[in-house]
Amino acid sequence: EQIEKGGYPHFMLKEIYEQPQAIRDTFRGRMREHKGIIKMAGVDDHIDKFLNAKRLVILACGTSWHAGLVAEYIIEELVRVPVEVEYASEFRYRNPVIDKDDVVIAISQSGETADTMAAMKLAKENGAFVFGVCNVVGSSISREAHAGAYTHAGPEIGVASTKAFTTQITVLTLLGLKIAKAKGKISTSDFHMHLEELRLIPEKVEEALKNNEHVKKIAEVYKDASNCLYLGRGFNFPVALEGALKLKEISYIHAEGYPAAEMKHGPIALIDEQMPVVVIATRRGHYDKIVSNIQEIKSRKGKIIAIVTKGDVTVKELADHVIEVPEVMDSMSPLLTTIPLQLLSYHIAVMLGKNVDQPRNLAKSVTVE
Ligand code: G6P
């Protein structure tokens, strides 16, 4: 097992550090910049389904559901087609409205999650075209789907999902760009700009990982907290949910993720000097709005840990701690802002002596309902 961990103390840390390569492996062979195309056989073979779809319905559970939410924001923006993201377990039990004009995307790292499998079968029975986004090659969901795309993240052993999340977002970004191009919804220059940004992501993830020691120091300060709030807006709202999920999964600290603007409808009542609030405050995403959210937290003496764009000044003055990530287009920022949140949860859990790779009560793949 020590050999499998490749010198890292835990699989989770190894997998966090594998993300630059995993993302590269996900787009390698698919991005043909010089030709201005994205190659995805599962899409090419069924392009009519994607062109004619009245809406896309994403089905998933857990972290994969969070990747689905990011994809909703990305695909709606690029393709201008409605996207709905459903918990597979809710979808399957509520007689959903679904038919042949829908394209369903089932996202699952393991490809074995029972609820996702049952939900996609139901969608198929109702005539929908089902596209699988799985990591495990040959898994049940990948076989049950009409077509699909693998994430190529390599084996993920840690129960708390890390590289599966960022590679799912990568595949779904490629998918969004590909459909947008096929539908004529994106200009050639914009398409190239997106591909170029995506190509630079692995290096930027590497840069984000360099904050590890700094994040560890922040973890030391907040490891004894009993609650933690995570806030984000737009593309980074799902990242707030994912950050909170990571913390509760492995450290057992209660954490909630919220859209920052919803804070005033409830969570603000919880803020006092005991409450750490992690805010994703990158420069391109509704920056002014998030700055005013930060001011509201500060005036209630909450402790602010902000994820900011490199070189930020405004938030730095307000926050108790800032963690910088490289500049990137807004729609791709989840690929970077997620990194410090993974590290923060990891270090807190290690400091608390928890079983990081196999947290209590959780399983890597949930094959029961
Ligand atoms: C379990 C795992 C999570 C995962 C979820 C969905 O709860 O612990 O890490 O996100 O299942 O799994 P899937 O394999 O379908 O992505």
The minimum-distance atom of ligand 1 relative to the CA of 136 is 14
The β-bridge partners of 307 are 280, 323
Give the distance (Å) from ligand 1 centre to CA of residue 13: 18
pLDDT for the residue 210: 98
Which atom of ligand 1 is the closest one to the Cα of 110? 14
Q: How many angstroms separate the CA atoms of 351 and 305, rounded?
A: 18
For residues 317-332, give the mean pLDDT: 97
Res 45 pLDDT > 70? yes
- Residue 213: CB atoms within 10 Å: 9
| Pocket probe mutation, ligand 1, options 120, 241, 366, max atoms within 8 Å of Cβ | 366
DSSP code of residue 236: G
Return the structure tokens found at 286: 């509704």
pLDDT(178) > 80 = yes
User: Is the whole-model pTM more than 0.90?
Assistant: yes
Backbone φ and ψ for 194, nearest 5 degrees, come out as: -60, -45
42-50 contacts, C-beta under 8 A, 24 or more apart: 42/131, 42/147, 42/148, 42/149, 43/131, 43/147, 43/149, 43/175, 43/178, 43/179, 45/147, 46/129, 46/131, 46/146, 46/147, 47/182, 49/103, 49/129, 50/103, 50/179, 50/182
The Cα–Cα gap between 263 and 269 comes to 9
ipTM above 0.90, yes or no: yes
Distance 300 CA to ligand 1 centre (A): 36
| Confidence (pLDDT) at 284 | 84
- Pair 28, 156: CB distance under 8 Å: no
d(CA 20, CA 203): 7
Ligand 1 nearest-atom number relative to CA 160: 9
Q: Which of 11, 59, 63 to mutate to test the pocket of ligand 1 (most atoms within 8 A of CB)?
A: 63
From ligand 1's centre to the CA of 242, what distance in Å? 12
Is 364 noted as a catalytic residue in this protein?
yes
Closest-CA residue, ligand 1 atom 4, reads 62
Q: Which two tokens stand for residue 351?
A: 């400091």
From ligand 1's centre to the CA of 164, what distance in Å?
10
Q: Could you tell me if 306 and 294 are in contact, meaning their C-beta atoms sit under 8 angstroms apart? A: yes
pLDDT of 2: 79
Model confidence at 342, pLDDT cuts 50, 70, 90, reads very high
Pocket of ligand 1 (CB under 6 A): 61-64, 108-110, 113, 116, 159-161, 362, 364-366
- Spatial distance between the Cα atoms of 178 and 1, rounded to a whole number of angstroms: 40
The pLDDT confidence band at residue 34, using thresholds 50, 70 and 90, is low
Helix or strand or coil: residue 21?
helix
Residue nearest (by alpha carbon) to ligand 1 atom 5: 62
Name the residue with the closest Cα to ligand 1, atom 7. Answer: 62
Question: What distance in angstroms lies between residue 133's CA and the mean position of ligand 1's atoms?
Answer: 13
Q: How far is the CA of 154 from the centre of ligand 1 (A)?
A: 15
C-alpha distances out from residue 124 to 59, 145, 171, Å: 12, 9, 22
Residue 302: pLDDT band by 50, 70, 90 thresholds? very high
Q: Is 100 helix (H, G, I), strand (E, B) or coil?
A: coil
Q: What is the pLDDT of residues 131-167, one digit of tens each?
A: 999 999 999 999 999 999 999 999 999 999 999 999 9
Q: What is the pLDDT of residues 51-81, one digit of tens each?
A: 999 999 999 999 999 999 999 999 999 999 9
pLDDT digits (tens, 9 = 90+) for 225-275: 999 999 999 999 999 999 999 999 999 999 999 999 999 999 889 999 999
Can you give the pLDDT at residue 33? 65
Ligand 1, closest atom to CA 161? 9
pLDDT at 47 over 80: yes
- If you average pLDDT over residues 195-199, what whole number do you get? 95
Q: Supply the DSSP symbol for 327.
A: -
- Nearest ligand 1 atom to the CA of 62 is 10
pLDDT, residue 32, reads 75
Residue 28's CB: how many other CB atoms inside 10 A?
10
* For residue 36, pLDDT beyond 80: no
Q: What angle do CA 153, 64, 26 make, to 5 degrees?
A: 25
Q: Which residue minimizes the CA distance to atom 8 of ligand 1? A: 364
Q: Nearest to residue 212, comparing CAs of 27, 357, 350?
A: 350
